[in-house]
Amino acid sequence: MVAKLVAILIVGVLAVALPGPVLAQNCGCDAGRCCSCQAGPCFTTPGSNVSVPDVVTEGFFDGIIDQADASCAGKNFYTRAAFLDALKSYPRFGTAAYVDDALYEIAAFFAHVTHETGHFCYTQEIDGASKEYCDETDARYPCVSGKDYYGRGPIQLSWNYNYGEAGESIGFDGLNNPEIVATDAGISFKSALWFWMSYVHSVIGQGFGATIRVIKSDDCNGGNPAAVNARVEYFTEYCNELGVLPGDNLTC
């Protein structure tokens, strides 16, 4: 009788210890992606931070700038080395905990850069000097007589207040020497990353369209659909190249 009770107890313990049947889950994730379906949509498992230099390779960078004509001012101005050097001042760029989020941000940044510079062709805005970018109501960063604050750099920095604030953050006289953004490649890339991390990085979770609205709001709501579509096309292209889905909310 005692032996029978022991046997029953052993069977009971084993029944509890042994795992039940494993139910296959289909989260809708891409093949090879590690994800979980717990009480909701598919979540990518966080990995180690993405290495931006490993993503923005020579091949990736050259794939953009090689499309610029040899006569372009930016052809010998913008370099991957200058970008990587500027990146040291902005370590949070492209290093989200989720790999897809990091790749998404890198694709978005270079989509805007490609459009703003014409594949790294232009160092400053075409006919920019003919446009007025002085906000005379800004007492903190007043315009300097004889200086123009039109678009310069990879994400064309414009307006006196942006030059003033960027200069304070990066370490150049943005109000008295705005031209340096188009003559010093290091400062040029830093100005783009400064603007991105200051104003764009926080909205990227809302979709690519939100980044367009921050960078070029005038193009949204039918203002310039061709320009919006061009940015979206570049973004989709880079997402495909980096192996990340472009997601929803692409336009503004």
C-alpha 181/C-alpha 192 separation (Å) is 9
SS3 labels along the chain: CHHHHHHHHHHHHHHHHCCCCCCCCCCCCCCCCCEECCCCCCEECCCCCCCHHHHCCHHHHHHHHCCCCCCCCCCCCCCHHHHHHHHCCCCCCCCCCCHHHHHHHHHHHHHHHHHHHCCCCCCECCCHHHCCCCCCCCCCCCCCCCCCCCCECCCCECCHHHHHHHHHHHCCCCCCCHHHHHCCHHHHHHHHHHHHHHHHHHHHHHCHHHHHHHHCHHHCCCCCHHHHHHHHHHHHHHHHHHCCCCCCCCCC
Q: What is the full per-residue pLDDT of the chain (252 aa) written as tens digits?
A: 434 433 443 334 333 333 333 323 333 443 333 333 333 333 343 444 789 999 999 999 999 999 999 999 999 999 999 999 999 999 999 999 899 999 999 999 999 999 999 999 999 999 988 899 999 999 999 999 999 999 999 999 999 999 999 999 999 999 999 999 999 999 999 999 999 999 999 999 999 999 999 999 999 999 999 999 999 999 999 999 999 999 999 999
Active site amino acids:
116
pLDDT at residue 113, rounded to an integer: 98
pLDDT for the residue numbered 75:
96
- The span from the CA of 190 to the CA of 139, in Å, is 25
**160 and 141 Cβ atoms separated by less than 8 Å:** yes
Q: Locate the domains of the chain by residue range.
A: 60-242
124 φ, ψ (degrees, to nearest 5): -150, 165
Q: Which pLDDT score is estimated for 88?
A: 97
Q: What token pair was written down for 85?
A: 């050097």
pLDDT at 18: 35
Report the predicted TM-score, pTM, of the whole model to 2 decimal places: 0.81
Radius of gyration, alpha carbons of the chain: 25
Fold designation for 60-242 = Lysozyme (1.10.530)
The tokens for 205 are 């979770």
